[in-house]
Amino acid sequence: MITPEEALARISSNVGPLPARTAPLSDAEGCVLSASLAARLDLPSFDNSAMDGYAVRASDLAGASREAPVSLRLCGEAPAGSPASVAVAAGEALRILTGAPVPEGADAVVMQEKTERVGDAVLFYATPSAGANIRPRGEDVKAQAPLLAAGSTLRPYEIGLLASQGIAEVEVIPRPTAAVLATGSEIAPPGTPLAAGKIYNSNGPALGAALRRWGVAVRDLGSAPDDPVAMASALRPAVGTCDLLLVAGGVSVGDYDYTRSVFQEFGFEEVFYKVAVKPGKPLLFGRIQAPEGGCATWVFGLPGNPLSALVSLEEFVRPAIERMRGVTLVQPSYHLRGRALNAYPLPKDRQQFLFCRARPDGDGFALEVIRPQGSAMSKMATGANALAVARLGMGVVREGDLLPFRWLK
């Protein structure tokens, strides 16, 4: 049994980013850029007006104010979308719209609200400084300069920046594909009557929902009974054709050797088995090497109890997915802290994840630890909005203890 920190370290050191691929910008949101990009264009690519107003020579308006307006001759109009055609001479003002190129001769824009049109003249009620309301060429981006570094996650802000450079395709690390199999002779598919001793397959749907939310394409392999032949035949189509294979159930003490032997038929190399967490101890992780013409597949054997499976997915599989996606986590997880409103007993040898109801409380948060909680209590978990951590060796949660937590969104 290893600590959760050790498990995360082994995941991190073993799993690397998937090979890069070209994607249209419209499909790249949330992906990581695989190579640094330099700017193709200055941004803005020409001096332009930040306001609707008038382009002028600032020196013409020295001393202009509400009390002592200065009048200039209107010499034309500069709409957005066309090159500036008219130059502004001394004593002249050009009507200009937001985003339009600043005409030759002008060195400032006065916003419309500080002017008044009187026939062919414009009265100015304010003195602009040189450069006022002009966005100079290259202010935000200079052509050839670094635009975005390899490893950047493409948020809507990055997508916008790339589009503004006329970039329609990017080299990114793709989203992983995953296959999910629920195992156990007790598992029945939905839509069938439930025979004695059977339960419905809830791990497949729940794990699939979480994976899809993280941008992973999911293949649902359904369920297989506790039978090596059936299990191997359910897994076979996924080996070499998906990046990640999740098998829920069949990894507790009694089943482990048997599940492992099924995996080994496909060339499984184990990285770890058993992590000191509750829920979730019997967690199996390793790799199936790429078959000829296929891809390598990372394999997680998840515990079969529904909450053990989901918490293991969020705590251990998700970091593996983030490694595959090339994501650099800027933010430590569990950086929020809350005060326990009630006591809760803890296991001696495992870190416990606690389902809680969290709410803001003064400058921080209060955590009601839900009692009782168990790894098969699916309904209990739907009443929680937060998952707190009681670290190994804490012994017991006492009322008032400060616990790290994350939101269950």
**Shortest Å distance, C-beta 340 to a second copy:** 17
Strands (E), 120-203: 121-124, 134-135, 146-148, 169-173, 177-183, 187-188, 199-200
Q: How many CB atoms lie within 10 A of CB 53?
A: 26
Residue 179 Cβ vs a second copy, minimum distance, rounded to whole Å? 14
CB of 293 to a second copy, least distance (A): 30
Instruction: Count other Cβ atoms within 10 Å, centred on residue 243.
Output: 22
The region of 9-17, 64-72, 93-101, 115-123 touching a second copy under the rule CB under 8 A is: 93-101
Preceding omega of 225 cis (within 30 degrees of 0): no
Judged by CB under 8 A, the stretch of 114-122, 158-166, 287-295, 346-354 that binds a second copy is: 158-166
Enumerate residues 256-295 that contact a second copy by CB under 8 A. none
| Closest by CA position to 221, among listed 210, 63, 207, 284 | 207
Q: Which of 11, 18, 44, 392 binds a second copy (CB under 8 A)?
A: 44
User: What is the rounded distance in angstroms from the CA atom of residue 47 to the CA atom of residue 406?
Assistant: 47
User: What is the distance between the alpha carbons of residues 253 and 313, in angstroms, rounded to a whole number?
Assistant: 20
Binding to a second copy in span 320-379, by CB under 8 A: 330-332, 335, 360, 374, 376-379
319 lies in the site for a second copy, by CB under 8 A? no
DSSP state of 269: E
- Taking the least distance from each CB to a second copy, the nearer of 79 and 237 is 79
> Does the footprint of a second copy cover residue 29 (CB under 8 A)?
yes
Q: Please identify which residue in 7, 15, 37, 43 interacts with a second copy, judged by CB under 8 A.
A: 43
Does 143 participate in binding a second copy (rule CB under 8 A)? Answer: no
Amino acid identity at 222: G
Q: Judged by CB under 8 A, which of 87, 90, 199, 396 binds a second copy?
A: 199
Binding-site member from 8, 25, 343, 366 for a second copy (CB under 8 A): 25
Identified binder of a second copy from the candidate list 12, 65, 328, 382, rule CB under 8 A: 382
| Segment near a second copy (CB under 8 A); pick from 8-16, 61-69, 138-146, 283-291 | 138-146
Considering beta carbons, is residue 45 or 342 the nearer one to a second copy?
Answer: 45
Query: Sign of the CA dihedral 28, 31, 34, 37?
Result: positive
Give buried/exposed letters for 252-273 (b at 16+ CB in 10 A, else e): eeebbeebbebbeebebeebbb
Measure the CA–CA gap between 177 and 243, rounded to whole angstroms: 5
Indicate the DSSP class of residue 113: G
For a second copy, the closer of residues 113 and 269 by Cβ is: 113
Reported as half-sphere exposure (CB side, CA atoms, 13 A), residue 68 has a value of 5
How near is the Cβ of 404 to a second copy at its closest, in Å? 12
